[in-house]
């Protein structure tokens, strides 16, 4: 028999961005290619982007538990239309490399970030 379980929803209320870099589409795609394959990239409201989180050291973990997340670096490029896959053609790779794109338009965090980026960062 199951005990009653309390569920607490505690959404993120702040993103702390430490660096933002506007990149070309090819450079952004190139960074998603690894020796073992490709890493998906995010798209939200006209912005194609990646981010790196800081290591979960005590301060970052405490912030996370209080609803604040740290993105060490955000790399982005404008991309008006969503596409589920993007193709990278680079002389260093034999043939074309396909990068999967994840549409995160339904994420409140990514929606707010894309609005902030468009308002505060020069494209």
pLDDT average per 10 residues of sequence, the chain (123 residues): 86 96 94 88 97 95 96 97 92 81 97 96 82
Is the pTM for the entire model greater than 0.85? yes
Q: Note the pLDDT of residue 1.
A: 65
User: Is residue 44 exposed (0-12), middle (13-18) or buried (19+ Cβ within 10 Å)?
Assistant: buried
Check residue 122 and give its pLDDT.
Answer: 80
Domain ranges of the chain: 14-120
Contact 96, 67 (CB under 8 A): no
């Amino acid at each position: 028999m199951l005990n009653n379980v309390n569920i607490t929803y505690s959404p993120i209320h702040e993103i702390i961005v430490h660096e933002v870099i506007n990149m070309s589409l090819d450079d952004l795609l190139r960074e998603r290619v690894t020796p073992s394959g490709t890493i998906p990239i995010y798209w939200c409201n006209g912005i194609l982007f990646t981010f790196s989180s800081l290591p979960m050291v005590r301060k970052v973990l405490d912030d996370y538990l209080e609803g604040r997340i740290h993105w060490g670096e955000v790399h982005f490029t404008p991309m008006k239309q969503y596409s589920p896959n993007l193709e990278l053609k680079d002389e260093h790779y034999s043939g074309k490399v396909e990068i999967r794109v994840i549409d995160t338009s339904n994420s409140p965090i990514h929606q707010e970030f894309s609005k902030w980026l468009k308002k505060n960062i020069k494209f």
